[in-house]
């Protein structure tokens, strides 16, 4: 893939014509007398963002809001075929070779365009958009590590890096998938712990197999109990009636006992034991002669006769009460007997029967235990299968580990590492460099540990140099791509010492000879100017030639910026 031209439908836009091969510089120039750094914001990084916009990047909200009438156009070539993509700032207009196309279809077309050999990356997280950023790092977060870009997982970063270097990705993918499967099995096992039928068992720490065996013995007992139960639908009504009659019988029994007590009292009273005999009464009267007059004692016979009359009357009354009470006792006893017969009949009808609630309680208990046993059996079967599958996966992973050892023993990065050192040595002759490529035997998703190294990379400048060199390695000596352009933004040059920056561009000019590849660099004038004195006259002449310096952007007036207008797109 080679860039030809970036343009827009607005006359103020500074069209960029990319050199078909070799170096293309886009320089942000400071206006005279102003402080250093005012060349920022003139559109250098914006040019790269617009290239990504045309090549299927996600819609940019700032573009849509602040440049609603703008349409950008990118002319490019892929494997000898020329193409044009036009895309409006709001993404409502997208055309490919003058034919309207949706963004998703555009990205699919780019995937199939042959820029990257994605046929070798089926079922892998590798797309045109994910790889193009390795050749045109856009965001600051894309420029932190040479072997990754923004928002990539460690696995994505590893597999895309190895893919672009032509190194093994099959074992990388296999370990990733195996580890995902093991994690999925673990997660599925954890779901059993919240299964309602098994939750209490797991919480108590009980053994599932022992619990299942206990249930296998318990369930037949419940079934047998349930089979013996005869349900009386009106069991509760009959039971309540029997209880009511029992209460009535208890009351009648108490009443009978009370009546019998009364009979006993009356019977005792009927025994003839006069309170005062005639002789005693006469003696009493004679003893009173000294007190009362003699005339009063003349009435003794009358008194005795009256006393006898009272005794007879009392006896008749008690006999009458006795007859009445005995009759009432017989009535109560008859009522008691009848009620006892009714109550006993009710109780007899309930023998061997049970209430529906009791039947339902036993039935529910049986159903719950059967459900729990099924869940336990499923879990035990699942657990066995999980253990078998996990063991099988780990055995396969161990085999892959041995394969990775064999693969690394052949030192597949030997040539790449040599080339990488060849790139870093001119920049930092006294700093050791190389590429770590080792087998990762940990229980994780990473098959290999891969990292470009350059001593002193804690320094921002050395860190950026490491990234520049690794990008160049992928660009010039990588695999599975036909990329013919590499774009580096000013942020990767800003922290380099002027001498290092000059040596980098000197290396670029040397490496680009006899190739048909493009190197596009956006750079501030202060960074550009400060390195010129470190270059040879021939190299300075090349950089200063109009063919190399494709565009100068200035910040003193809006018309001198890339868009030709003043607009804040941050």
Give the integer Cα–Cα distance in Å for 494 and 461.
8
pLDDT in the model for residue 119 = 87
565 vs 279, higher pLDDT: 565
What single string gives the DSSP state of each residue in 384-447? Answer: HHHHHHHHHHHHHHHHHHHHHHHHHHT-TTHHHHHHHHHHHHHH-TTS-EEEEEEE--SSSS-S
Tens of pLDDT, residue by residue over 482-539, are: 999 999 999 999 999 999 999 999 999 999 998 999 999 999 999 999 999 999 999 9
Pairing relationship of beta strands 81-88 and 94-96 according to DSSP bridges? antiparallel
> Which of 365, 384, 391, 392 is CA-nearest to residue 209?
384
Tens of pLDDT, residue by residue over 196-208, are: 766 676 666 677 7
Residues 235 and 301 in one domain: yes
pLDDT in the model for residue 275 = 52
* Mean local confidence (pLDDT), 27-50: 73
Residues 234 and 174 in one domain: no
Q: Is the pLDDT of residue 36 over 50?
A: no
- The answer to whether residue 280 sits within a structural domain is yes
* Mean local confidence (pLDDT), 456-483: 94
Residue ranges of the alpha helices (H) in 453-565? 460-477, 498-512, 525-532, 537-544
Contacts of 431 (CB under 8 A, 6+ apart): 424, 454, 455, 456, 462
Residues 370 and 393 in one domain: yes
Q: What's the angle, vertex CA 298, arms to CA 296 and CA 300, rounded to 5?
A: 95
In residues, how long is the chain?
570
Whole-structure pTM value? 0.73
Q: How confident is residue 157, by pLDDT bands cut at 50, 70 and 90?
A: very high
Tens of pLDDT, residue by residue over 82-111, are: 999 999 999 999 999 999 999 999 999 999
Residues 249 and 314 in one domain: yes
- The answer to whether residue 567 sits within a structural domain is no
Q: Is the pLDDT of residue 388 over 80?
A: yes
Residues 308 and 369 in one domain: no
pLDDT in the model for residue 7 = 97
Residues 255 and 321 in one domain: yes
Helix axes 525-532 and 498-512, enclosed angle (nearest 10): 80
- The answer to whether residue 183 sits within a structural domain is yes
Strand, coil or helix: 7: strand
Q: Report the largest interatomic distance among the alpha carbons of the chain, rounded to a whole angstrom.
A: 181
End-of-domain residue from the set 321, 351, 381: 351
Q: Is the pLDDT of residue 433 over 50?
A: yes
Pairing relationship of beta strands 81-88 and 71-78 according to DSSP bridges? antiparallel
* Mean local confidence (pLDDT), 43-62: 94
End-of-domain residue from the set 411, 428, 450: 411
Which position has the token pair 């958009």?
129
Residues 344 and 366 in one domain: no
Residues 261 and 281 in one domain: yes
pLDDT in the model for residue 33 = 46
- The answer to whether residue 365 sits within a structural domain is yes
- The answer to whether residue 308 sits within a structural domain is yes
Give the integer Cα–Cα distance in Å for 9 and 67.
11
Say if CB 26 and CB 51 are below 8 A apart.
no
Q: How confident is residue 545, by pLDDT bands cut at 50, 70 and 90?
A: confident
Tokens of 197: 């039928």
> Comparing 138-147, 308-317, 319-328, 493-502, which segment has the lowest mean pLDDT?
308-317
Residue 63 zone, left/alpha/beta (φ > 0; ψ -120 to 50; rest)? alpha
Residues 178 and 289 in one domain: no
288 vs 15, higher pLDDT: 15
Range of the domain at 397: 168-206+360-411
137 vs 280, higher pLDDT: 137
Q: How many domains does the chain have?
A: 2
Residues 250 and 308 in one domain: yes
DSSP state of 547: T
Residues 287 and 396 in one domain: no
Give the integer Cα–Cα distance in Å for 135 and 143.
11
* Mean local confidence (pLDDT), 227-238: 58
Pairing relationship of beta strands 485-488 and 518-524 according to DSSP bridges? parallel
Pairing relationship of beta strands 518-524 and 22-29 according to DSSP bridges? parallel
Residues 310 and 369 in one domain: no
Give the integer Cα–Cα distance in Å for 535 and 512.
16
* Mean local confidence (pLDDT), 224-245: 64
- The answer to whether residue 548 sits within a structural domain is no
Give the integer Cα–Cα distance in Å for 94 and 82.
17
Give the integer Cα–Cα distance in Å for 465 and 150.
18
| Average model confidence (pLDDT) across the chain | 85
Tokens of 396: 């396969």
- The answer to whether residue 371 sits within a structural domain is yes
Tokens of 7: 């343009």
End-of-domain residue from the set 315, 330, 351: 351
Q: Is the pLDDT of residue 356 over 90?
A: no
Say if CB 46 and CB 489 are below 8 A apart.
no
C-alpha distances in angstroms, 42 versus 26, 72, 111, 557?
11, 17, 32, 9
């Amino acid at each position: 893939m080679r860039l030809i031209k970036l343009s827009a439908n607005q006359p103020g836009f500074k069209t960029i014509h990319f050199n078909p091969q070799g170096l293309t510089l886009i320089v942000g120039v400071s206006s005279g007398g102003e402080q250093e750094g005012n060349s920022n914001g003139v559109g250098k990084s914006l040019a790269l963002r617009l290239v990504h916009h045309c090549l299927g990047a996600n819609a940019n909200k700032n573009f849509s809001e602040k440049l609603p009438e703008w349409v950008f156009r990118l002319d490019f070539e892929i494997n000898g075929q020329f193409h044009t993509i036009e895309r409006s700032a709001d993404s409502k207009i997208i055309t490919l070779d003058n034919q309207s196309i949706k963004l998703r279809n555009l990205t699919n077309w780019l995937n199939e365009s042959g820029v990257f050999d994605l046929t070798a990356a089926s079922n892998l997280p590798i797309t045109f958009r994910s790889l193009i950023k390795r050749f045109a790092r856009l965001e600051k977060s894309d420029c932190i590590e040479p072997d990754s870009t923004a928002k990539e997982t460690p696995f994505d970063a590893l597999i895309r890096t190895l893919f672009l270097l032509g190194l093994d990705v099959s074992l990388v993918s296999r370990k990733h998938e195996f580890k995902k499967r093991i994690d999925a099995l673990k997660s599925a096992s954890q779901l059993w712990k919240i299964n309602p039928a098994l939750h209490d068992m797991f919480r108590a720490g009980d053994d599932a197999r022992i619990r299942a065996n206990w249930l296998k013995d318990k369930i037949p007992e419940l079934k047998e109990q349930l089979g013996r139960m005869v349900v009386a639908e009106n069991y509760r009504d009959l039971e309540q009636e029997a209880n009511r009659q029992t209460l009535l019988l208890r009351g009648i029994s108490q009443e009978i006992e009370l009546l019998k007590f009364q009979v006993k009292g009356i019977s005792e009273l009927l025994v003839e034991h006069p309170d005062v005999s005639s002789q005693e009464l006469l003696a009493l009267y004679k003893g009173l002669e000294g007190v009362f007059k003699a005339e009063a004692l003349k009435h003794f016979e009358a008194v005795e006769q009256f006393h006898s009359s009272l005794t007879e009357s009392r006896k008749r009354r008690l006999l009458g009460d006795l007859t009445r009470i005995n009759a009432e006792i017989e009535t109560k006893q008859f009522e008691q007997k009848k009620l006892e017969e009714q109550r006993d009949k009710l109780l007899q009808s309930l023998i061997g029967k049970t209430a529906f609630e009791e039947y339902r309680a036993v039935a529910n208990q049986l159903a719950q235990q059967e459900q729990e046993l099924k869940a336990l059996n499923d879990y035990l079967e699942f657990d066995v299968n999980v253990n078998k599958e996990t063991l099988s996966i780990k055995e396969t992973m161990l085999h892959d580990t041995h394969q990775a050892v064999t693969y690394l023993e052949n030192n597949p990065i030997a040539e790449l590492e040599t080339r990488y050192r060849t790139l870093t040595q001119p920049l930092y002759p006294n700093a050791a460099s190389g590429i770590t490529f080792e087998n990762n035997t940990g229980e994780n998703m990473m098959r290999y540990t891969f990292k470009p190294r350059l001593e002193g990379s804690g320094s921002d400048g050395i860190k950026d140099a490491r990234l520049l060199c690794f990008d160049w390695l992928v660009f010039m000596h990588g695999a599975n791509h036909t990329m013919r352009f590499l774009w580096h933004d000013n942020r990767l040059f800003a922290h380099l010492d002027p001498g290092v920056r000059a040596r980098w561009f000197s290396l670029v000019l040397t490496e680009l000879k006899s190739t048909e590849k493009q190197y596009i660099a956006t750079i501030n004038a202060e960074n550009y100017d400060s390195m010129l004195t470190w270059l040879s006259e021939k190299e300075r002449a090349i950089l200063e030639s109009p063919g190399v310096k494709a565009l100068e952007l200035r910040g003193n007036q809006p018309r001198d910026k890339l868009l030709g207008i003043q607009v804040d797109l941050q």
